[in-house]
Amino acid sequence: MEGAETPQVIVLFDGYSKTEKNFMLANCSCTLIKGPPHVIVDTMTAWDCEKLRKALIANDLSCEDIDFVICTHGHSDHIGCNYLFPKAVHIVGFSISQEDIYFNHDFKSGKEKVISDKVTVIPTPGHTMQDVSVIVKTCNGVVAITGDLFEKEEDLHDDSIWKSAGSDSEELQMKNRKKILEMADFIVPGHGPMFKVDK
Ligand SMILES: [Zn+2]
């Protein structure tokens, strides 16, 4: 039987994006992987720190308990509250750092970063050339937290949704979307609620 260390994926805030007349309204999905190790994936905008802190408290954690902050890529709506977690190792796209130390890791050649035996970070470029996804083995199956590799569930049937959200390489993004769909049972997309992968 899987023990207490099996991680729990808790989406703290569902991401969203919609186009208004003169601007776009968007924020990312923010996900807690409750371990240990405890991981936050994507920290929303710089204006969300108080609500993020409160959401952690509601899950019996404080910012100091977080071991890893993982940002699927470096856009401002995914990194805004990273500073709340000074004790964590920060992985932002392909960059891994803690304080002023930058660790070598060859995501570029496809190498995954192992966080625990149930949590890994894999390179999934496309939206930006340095996007990563977090793969979590839970009791309910494999959850992939992908950032903007998937914008929202609707983009499974309408490629224009993820393409118009910006793609530095549509070819790579297409390839990595396919790879994630094959390995995951659930996907937490960058800007929509978690969805089940129809196998
Ligand atoms: Zn985004």
The model's pLDDT over 78-137, given as tens digits with 9 standing for 90+, comes to 999 999 999 999 999 999 999 999 999 999 999 999 999 999 999 999 999 999 999 999
Higher-pLDDT residue of 9 and 1 is 9
What confidence category does residue 1 fall into, taking pLDDT thresholds of 50, 70 and 90? Answer: very low
Please give the distance, rounded to the nearest whole angstrom, from the Cα atom of residue 3 to the centre of ligand 1: 34
Q: Distance (Å, rounded) from C-alpha 119 to C-alpha 59?
A: 19
CB-neighbour burial class of residue 145 (10 A; exposed 0-12, middle 13-18, buried 19+): buried
Please give the distance, rounded to the nearest whole angstrom, from the Cα atom of residue 129 to the centre of ligand 1: 14
Q: Whole-model pTM above 0.85?
A: yes
Q: Which residues contact 38 (CB under 8 A, 6 or more apart)?
A: 32, 61, 65, 66, 67, 68
Please give the distance, rounded to the nearest whole angstrom, from the Cα atom of residue 150 to the centre of ligand 1: 10
What pLDDT is stored for residue 54 in this prediction? 98
Region 8-196: CATH code: 3.60.15.10
Strand partners, 188: 145
What confidence category does residue 173 fall into, taking pLDDT thresholds of 50, 70 and 90? Answer: very high
Of the candidates 5, 1, 3, 7, the residue with the CA atom closest to the CA atom of residue 145? 7
Please give the distance, rounded to the nearest whole angstrom, from the Cα atom of residue 132 to the centre of ligand 1: 13
Please give the distance, rounded to the nearest whole angstrom, from the Cα atom of residue 19 to the centre of ligand 1: 14
Describe the strand order of the beta sheet including 186-189 as a list of residue ranges: 113-116, 119-123, 132-138, 141-147, 186-189, 195-196
Q: Distance (Å, rounded) from C-alpha 194 to C-alpha 186?
A: 7
Residue ranges of domains in the chain? 8-196
φ, ψ of residue 101 in degrees (nearest 5): -100, 125
Q: Which residues contact 75 (CB under 8 A, 6 or more apart)?
A: 128, 148
Please give the distance, rounded to the nearest whole angstrom, from the Cα atom of residue 83 to the centre of ligand 1: 19
What confidence category does residue 199 fall into, taking pLDDT thresholds of 50, 70 and 90? Answer: confident
Please give the distance, rounded to the nearest whole angstrom, from the Cα atom of residue 100 to the centre of ligand 1: 26
Please give the distance, rounded to the nearest whole angstrom, from the Cα atom of residue 31 to the centre of ligand 1: 14
Average pLDDT over residues 177-183: 98
Cα pseudo-dihedral 108, 112, 113, 115, rounded to 10 = 160
Of the candidates 32, 29, 39, 25, the residue with the CA atom closest to the CA atom of residue 10? 32
Please give the distance, rounded to the nearest whole angstrom, from the Cα atom of residue 78 to the centre of ligand 1: 6
Please give the distance, rounded to the nearest whole angstrom, from the Cα atom of residue 87 to the centre of ligand 1: 25
φ, ψ of residue 183 in degrees (nearest 5): -95, -20
Residue with tokens 């803690």: 98
Q: Is 185 helix (H, G, I), strand (E, B) or coil?
A: coil
Please give the distance, rounded to the nearest whole angstrom, from the Cα atom of residue 4 to the centre of ligand 1: 32
Q: Distance (Å, rounded) from C-alpha 69 to C-alpha 79?
A: 9
Of the candidates 155, 151, 141, 188, the residue with the CA atom closest to the CA atom of residue 30? 188
Please give the distance, rounded to the nearest whole angstrom, from the Cα atom of residue 28 to the centre of ligand 1: 6
pLDDT in tens, 33-47: 999 999 999 999 999
